[in-house]
Structure 1
Amino acid sequence: MSKPKQAGGRPRDGRVDHAIAAAVRSLLGEQSYATLTVDAVAARAGISKATIYRRYATKQEMIFAVLLHDLNEAPPADTGSLRGDITALTTRIGDQLARSAAGVMAGLLADIHADEALSARFTDSYLAVERSVITTLLDRAVARGELPHRPDPALVHALLLGPLFAWQIMLNEDPTRTTLLADAVARSVTNALTSGALTNPAGIEKASVRQSH
């Protein structure tokens, strides 16, 4: 499966990346997501369209990387506790979502899910990066002894994203209040993890049997 394009050869010019990001943000402030084009971004940024396509294969990937995160997204710094790590992550997610209007995110997600090939690209790239970040946080907790084993990162991912996406995209609520929600989500998910509510005894048993052979 092909991935969103990464820089190769010479180091990428950070000034170009900043120009693209600034152009995307300014254009989305003037027009709708549906009418924004790569040509318009290139013109506003003062670069060629080919320069953008060397970085992003599609308009959707360009906008996602600018408004949310790129493929270099790293886990939050180790806070020393599962609760602290998850709080840092939910705060980051909330901040990322607050960068764009609900209509922009709704249009972007609709485009991604309407195109099977595009959806697969996002699953294998941006979504994989997000799951990797969550896996790192869970593995830290296991290493500290806070969790007996790593729960399903996909399930934890859904629990973290669901309330924040609902608040800022589905309900279009005040993004300045997201910090309070992010803390509540972190507390709720941490409690669920440490109480064993997300364990899968059957799955653990199967894994143990495989390891014993």
Structure 2
Amino acid sequence: MDDKILRTTRELIDEAGYPALTVDQVAARAGVGKAAIYRRYTSKAEMAFAATMYEQQLPPLSGTGSLHGDLLALVRAFHLRMATPAARQLAPALISEIAVNPGLDARFQDTFLAAEQALFAEIIEQAVARGELAGAVAPAMAHLLLLGTLASALYIINLPVDDAMITDLATAATAGITALADRHHSDPGSRGRPG
């Protein structure tokens, strides 16, 4: 049933765009009740987000052997999801809804963002183990430096994001994460602060 709901949502977005999408349409075409949809998703925006950007598992870690390589592989994988026409329609609507819906905000933080930050935690842990980083950096800060910047470029500034820019984003995030690790390692008083 989950697959049917998400597949139908994608079809309807492709046909008429996100603004025209309704839960009623998804339920009717998928042959499920609206209650079944609302048991899974708190809103149209969450359902559409799951269908367009998180219909698959998060990308596995590439294990490139370097912090920069791992971040570059990750940002390339996320760019493929985040740059689709459906995602570009949906992301601003979702951001707007999260701003006024504390329940959706909490759910988004606990599901999608927590899973993404777990990937960053693993990348950072491996970089520390290899000796590339002087110490740990908060996964939320690494997430912000890389994917927050990509989201801003795609959804707010509307920049044309190509592979050269993606490589630059990974390079900048690597430098930022390395600088934060160095600062936290050399300043023991900063270790308790986030970031």
TM-score with structure 1 length normalisation? 0.76
Q: Is the 1:75–1:137 Cα contact (8 Å) retained in structure 2?
A: no
Matches within 5 A, 1:112-191: 112-174=98-160, 177-191=161-175
Map Cα deviations across residues 155-195 of structure 1 (whole Å, 9 max, x no partner): 11111123311222113344xx433322111112112333x
Amino acid across the alignment from 1:37: T
Aligned residue type for 1:106: P
Residues 67 and 179 of structure 1, relative CA distance in 2, 3 Å threshold: farther
Give 1:46-85 correspondences, 5 Å limit: 46-69=31-54, 73=58, 75-85=60-70
Q: How many residue pairs align between the two structures? A: 191
Please give the secondary structure, in 2, of the residue aligned with 1:78.
coil
Q: Which residue of 2 aligns with 1:4?
A: none
The reply to whether residue 193 of structure 1 matches residue 177 of structure 2 is yes
Q: Distance in 1 between matches of 2:129 and 2:4?
A: 41
Q: What's the secondary structure of 2:18's corresponding residue?
A: coil
- Structure with the higher helix share, 1 or 2: 2
> Quick check: 1:94–1:179 contact (8 Å CA) kept in 2?
no
Question: SS state of the match for residue 149, structure 1?
Answer: coil
Q: Is 145-154 or 161-170 further displaced after alignment?
A: 161-170
User: Which amino acid letter does the alignment assign opposite residue 114 of structure 2?
Assistant: A
1:183-209 C-alpha deviation (Å, 9 max, x unpaired) = 111112112333x25544389614889
Q: CA deviation at 1:20?
A: 2.5
**CA distance in 2: counterparts of 1:138 and 1:172, whole angstroms:** 29
How much does 1:27 deviate?
Answer: 1.6
Shift of 1:72: 5.1
